[in-house]
Structure 1
Amino acid sequence: MSEQKLEKHVAPKTQTVIFITYIVAALEITWMFVQFSITPYLAKRLGFDTIWFGYLQTTVGVIQLLGGPVFGRFADLFGARAALTMSCVASVVYFLLLGVANSVPLLFIHKLPAVFMHILPGAQMVVTDLSEPERRADALAKLGLCFGIGMIVGSSLGGALSTHYGESFAAFVAAGGSLVSTILVQKFIPKHTKIQAGVQSLTDKKAGTGSVFNLSEITRLMKFPGSYQECPKVSFR
């Protein structure tokens, strides 16, 4: 296959993967804000006071703090598809446990799968790997748009579902939504986006990056401000 044909073949597929990543991110943020809408009422019904609800929220923060480095290393070793699948499956378990939480211990236990729930860092990895350098900032900014959409839709949807059908029903809807995200990841996200990015770089004549292992290009990228910083994570509480 010639370089021109390879470029025509890779570009549409890459854009599709990025678009699906946006959809998955928006869906997962939506379900998390559904959870944000129902957890306070569920906790109050189970007898939580302000202090215990604070402990519950702190538990999520600690769990996500511990899980962040593990998730990042897992993504490096096993690729984007495995990492995003793990995050989405953890979300399914998370919401199912929330739906059946009828006691104080269960409400704490349902937070445990959050150790693997890092959908935004996973999405940032995919978008960073597959977007062209000159369009990367724009591509990453659209993830912020996905977060905003999820926040608006999820908050409204969570309130409506819990009001008309109860907190458990809203949690089960969120679990079903995360299952849809899992299917999308399995169907559309490549196993290793870094390999995909390497193929794309071979077709980009203007970038002049050459090989994905080009030492001069790696040095250039490391000079960007913030290149040593960890991708921002959102603690779902």
Structure 2
Amino acid sequence: MIWSTVALDLVGFGIVVPILGRYAERFGAGGVAVGLLFASFSLAQFVCAPLLGRLSDRIGRKPVLLLSLFGTAAASFLTGAANVLWLLFLARVLDGASGASVAVAQGAVTDMVEPEERPRALGLIGAAFGIGFIVGPALGGLASLGGPHVPFYVAGGLALLNALIAIRRVPETRPRSVRTERPPRDARANRLWGIALATFVAVCAFAGFEATFALLTKQRFGLKEGGVATVFIGIGLLLTVVQGAMVRPVTRALGSTRTLQTGLLLNGLGLLVLAVAESWAVLVPALALLTVGQGLVTPSLSLVVTGRVPDHQRGEALGFQQGISAVARVIGPVMAGVLFEHVAIPSPYLVGAGLCTVALVVMLGQPGGSRKHTLGAADVPVTN
């Protein structure tokens, strides 16, 4: 039930994101304003996701998940009803401030399963992203036939329905007996800052690819919007397969830290090949490397986070990671766009490969990162 809640939430997100920029243009927003509109969501999420994660550690996962879903519904309805630009900004800030559903859901599934089952559980949460970004844009495109405001009302309706179903169907996974007051901050920061840096640079690299891929394929392959959309659907499908079916066996064989390193290596190789791709025979393998790598990286980052903090800090730690990812999704596209336009076409992907290398080096310096190990050594979660 938690998986379906996340998937439906991400379908709503997939409805909003592709059309928000053009919708904002109706209110006089230029390129800078549209960029700030997207940034406002991510910055609000960066600030609030760790706070909501910490709150879920203290009062339980379910009430915070419901708060996030109702906040998303309100923000979507406000976006659809907006008639001035500042209301769009207010709606995006509200959506970002309440946007901790993924981190809270990750905390919930790790509450419910044994450590050796966490790769499968978090992989399925990751697969929900692929489904959301396949179904969401298609549903948003159909809804837009009814008018520019309709997709946002559809997204709001889905979020509201999701919340109402969750009230009845989603269980509380954090028993009252294990909830604690806010713990000291000492060990938490020491365990997470290296992983936070790896998260930031890895997400920057992939977000830069997402932002500039349409420009690359237009320049080198003459691909139009429909072709780009088809490629991204293929990427979404492959991500879903990797995260739903490959993460568990790979993690059982390598451990979460080594799986993360493998994903970062594949990401870097994929971006390097993409930088020189001028034929489909080179482009397709590059995208396959990059997609499989990202499919391993995303759940592995969460696995490593959950293995480095005590159980009573898990929600806050996952919220912190989600907030770091949100900021990286602002900076990565901006950086890649500047490099693409003002340096050279291959430069975003070469820099992205360098960022993946930085993340790989950081993770080699983490516990369990310099040797092959199985789940159970450095990957066994702290439970004190």
TM-score, normalised via structure 1 length: 0.75
Tell whether the 8 Å contact from 1:30 to 1:149 is kept in structure 2 after alignment: yes
Tell whether the 8 Å contact from 1:25 to 1:123 is kept in structure 2 after alignment: yes
What is the aligned counterpart of 1:52 among 33, 44, 49? 33
Superposed CA offset, 1:21-63 (max 9, x none): 0100000001011011221121111111111111111211211
Counterpart residue number, 2:98: 116
Tell whether the 8 Å contact from 1:46 to 1:102 is kept in structure 2 after alignment: yes
- Worse overlay, 126-135 or 86-95: 126-135
Matches within 5 A, 1:88-107: 88-107=69-88
Q: Distance in 2 between matches of 1:195 and 1:77?
A: 10
User: Aligned in 2, Cα 1:228/1:133: closer, same or farther, shift over 3 Å?
Assistant: closer
Matches within 5 A, 1:17-36: 20-36=1-17
Q: Distance in 2 between matches of 1:117 and 1:137?
A: 23
Q: Distance in 2 between matches of 1:120 and 1:80?
A: 11
Q: Which has the higher contact order (CA 8 A, sep 6+)?
A: 1
Q: CA RMSD in A?
A: 2.2
Superposed CA offset, 1:67-97 (max 9, x none): 0121111111111110110010001111011
Question: How big is the shift at 1:170?
Answer: 1.0
Q: Which runs of 4+ in 1 moved over 6 A?
A: none
Q: Distance in 1 between matches of 2:56 and 2:148?
A: 33
Query: Which letter does structure 2 place at the counterpart of 1:46?
Result: F
Q: Distance in 2 between matches of 1:179 and 1:53?
A: 26
What is the aligned counterpart of 1:141 among 123, 127, 135? 123
Counterpart residue number, 2:298: none
Tell whether the 8 Å contact from 1:26 to 1:149 is kept in structure 2 after alignment: yes
Tell whether the 8 Å contact from 1:80 to 1:189 is kept in structure 2 after alignment: no
Q: Distance in 1 between matches of 2:3 and 2:104?
A: 11
Q: Distance in 1 between matches of 2:127 and 2:133?
A: 10
Q: Distance in 2 between matches of 1:180 and 1:170?
A: 15
User: Aligned in 2, Cα 1:184/1:196: closer, same or farther, shift over 3 Å?
Assistant: farther
Q: Distance in 2 between matches of 1:174 and 1:57?
A: 17
State yes or no: 1:188 paired with 2:188: no
Aligned to 1:167, the other structure's residue is in SS state coil
Superposed CA offset, 1:116-153 (max 9, x none): 11111011011100012221111110011111000110
Query: Which letter does structure 1 place at the counterpart of 2:49?
Result: G
Tell whether the 8 Å contact from 1:130 to 1:197 is kept in structure 2 after alignment: no
Q: Distance in 2 between matches of 1:41 and 1:26?
A: 25
Q: Distance in 2 between matches of 1:133 and 1:73?
A: 21
Counterpart residue number, 1:13: none
Query: Which letter does structure 2 place at the counterpart of 1:171?
Result: F
Counterpart residue number, 1:228: 308
Query: Which letter does structure 1 place at the counterpart of 2:33?
Result: W
What is the aligned counterpart of 1:160 among 142, 145, 170? 142
Between the two proteins, what is the percent identity of the paired residues? 28
Query: Which letter does structure 1 place at the counterpart of 2:3?
Result: Y
- Worse overlay, 51-60 or 140-149: 51-60
Q: Distance in 2 between matches of 1:112 and 1:58?
A: 9
Q: Distance in 2 between matches of 1:197 and 1:131?
A: 18
Counterpart residue number, 1:71: 52
Tell whether the 8 Å contact from 1:88 to 1:119 is kept in structure 2 after alignment: yes
Aligned to 1:22, the other structure's residue is in SS state helix
Q: Distance in 2 between matches of 1:132 and 1:166?
A: 47
Gaps of 5+ in 1: 1-19, 199-221
Superposed CA offset, 1:88-119 (max 9, x none): 00011110111111111111111122201111
Counterpart residue number, 1:215: none
Q: Distance in 2 between matches of 1:196 and 1:142?
A: 26
TM-score, normalised via structure 2 length: 0.47
Aligned to 2:174, the other structure's residue is in SS state helix
